[in-house]
Structure 1
Amino acid sequence: MRKIEISTSVTVFSNVSELPVDDKILMGKAVDARKNAYAPYSKFNVGAALLLDNGEIVLGSNQENAAYPSGMCAERVAIWKAGSTFPGVKIKKLAITASSTIAKVDKPVGPCGACRQTLSEFEINQKSPFDVIFMGEVGEVVKTASLLSLLPFSFDSSYL
Structure 2
Amino acid sequence: MKLINITSELELYDALEEMPQDVFDLMQKAFDARDNAYAPYSQFNVGAAILLENGEVVIGSNQENASYPSGLCAERTAFFYAGAKYPGVRMKKVAISAKSLKHAVAAPVSPCGACRQVMAEYEVNQEENIELYFMGETGKVLKAKSVKDLLPLIFDRNIL
TM-score scaled by structure 2?
Answer: 0.98
Cα distance in 2 for partners of 1:5, 1:66 equals: 41
CA distance in 2, matches of 1:153, 1:102: 34
**Hey, what's the Cα distance between the residues in 1 that align with 2:124 and 2:134?**
20
Whether the aligned pair in 1 keeps the contact of 2:34 and 2:45 (CA below 8 Å) is: yes
**Bigger shift: residues 147-156 or 40-49:** 147-156
1:4-153 matched pairs, under 5 angstroms? 4-153=4-153
Percent of residue pairs identical: 54
Corresponding pairs, count: 160
C-alpha RMSD of the superposition? 0.7
Assess if the C-alpha contact under 8 Å between 2:129 and 2:145 holds in 1: yes
- Extract unaligned runs of 5+ from structure 1: none
Letter in 2 for 1:83: G
Runs of 4+ in structure 1 over 2 Å off: none
Tell me the secondary structure at the aligned position of residue 17 of structure 2: helix
Cα deviation, residue 70, structure 1: 1.4
* Counterparts of 1:69 and 1:98, CA distance in 2: 20
The 2-side partners of 1:158 and 1:22 are apart by 33
Q: CA deviation at 1:101?
A: 0.5
One-letter amino acid matched to 1:31: F
Supply the distance in 2 between the matched residues of 1:77 and 1:133 (Cα, whole angstroms).
17
Separation in structure 2 between the aligned mates of residue 143 and residue 100 of structure 1, nearest angstrom: 21
Listed as ranges, the gaps of 5+ residues in structure 2 are none
Compute the TM-score of the two structures, normalised by the length of structure 1.
0.98
Shift of 1:159: 2.1
Distance 1:150 1:144 in 2: 7
